[in-house]
Structure 1
């Protein structure tokens, strides 16, 4: 007969409650620790939840304040626009009407464009002299003639200056063409 050298491992049987006081104390301690951990976790969860609620409340308060500020800015801009529109439809004072005529920029532009270049130049010279056509019409004929000669002289000077500038530009253009030809020939 052959005998095995291996020994059988014996597994201890679990003890029944009440048989081992150490096991019972460990089980009791474990259940108390588990309960304490659960209570601590629940307290932390409640505290975190409260902090999240406070943070959310602060954030929503900030957003409401920002929205209120933006709304106030929009209301202010609207009020300024309304006042501006009311001011433009208000009648102009008499002294302002005298300075700008009928108050229409379009009418002034059309009046200016309807004039010949000579008339525009004459008006500009009168303005330089600080005179209006009405003032000239009220002057004696000798002064009107002197002012007319002065205007004619200035018109001639401006025409000569314009012609000189044109000739100068034509000369520059010719010299540029000459340089271009020289560069092309190289």
Structure 2
């Protein structure tokens, strides 16, 4: 077996085995990468940059138009939205200030298509019948609440948790 212990010969052989050290490959690689880079820079970068700039301009324009529309609609609807908000708020506070019996009475009259004025014009017996219906519904509602609380404490806890969400 022949063994060459000469360090220069071993390193020369190793250098020749590496493809990146081959002079022909290195030259071809350099030429190829240089040509590709030049082609990319001259062709794609300006086209891509122009498209990107155009897209950015369209986005900015759309945003500006939307902002102007929102500002004009906000200034014209400030008066109407304020009155609508205060109207809704007053309706809500009026409803919440009523007792459960008053809420049930209002609901019952709405179901029957009656107003308070209609009830006032009715005979005393009909007024008493409506009052009795309100009392029955109120009692039924209270019984349901008591039954729900005492039936299953764990289920009640789940219901309260879900209601809180």
* TM-score (normalizing by structure 1): 0.47
Q: Which residue of 2 aligns with 1:38?
A: none
Give a deviation string over 1:15-38, Cα, whole Å, max 9, x none.
xxxxxxxxxxxxxxxxxxxxxxxx
- Give the one of 135, 138, 143 matched to 1:160: 143
Larger RCO of the pair (alpha carbons < 8 Å, separation 6+): 2
Q: Which of these two proteins has the greater Rg computed from alpha carbons? A: 1
Deviant stretches of 4+, over 6 Å = none
CA shift, 1:160, in A, is: 2.7
Distance 1:117 1:87 in 2: 39
Counting matched residue pairs gives: 121
Partner of 1:126: 109
**C-alpha contact 1:121 1:155 (8 A) present in aligned 2:** yes
**Which residue is equivalent to 1:88?**
77
> Is 1:74 the equivalent of 2:57?
no
Superposed CA deviations along residues 144-177 of structure 1, whole A, max 9, x for unmatched, are 232222222222222233333333236x89xxxx
Paired residues of 1:122 and 1:155 also in contact (CA < 8 A) = no
The change in CA–CA distance for 1:64 and 1:135 in structure 2 (over 3 A counts) is farther
- In structure 1, distance between residues paired with 2:99 and 2:41: 79
Which one has the bigger helix percentage? 2
Which runs of 5 or more residues in structure 1 are unaligned? 1-40, 174-186
2:102 is the alignment partner of 1:113: no
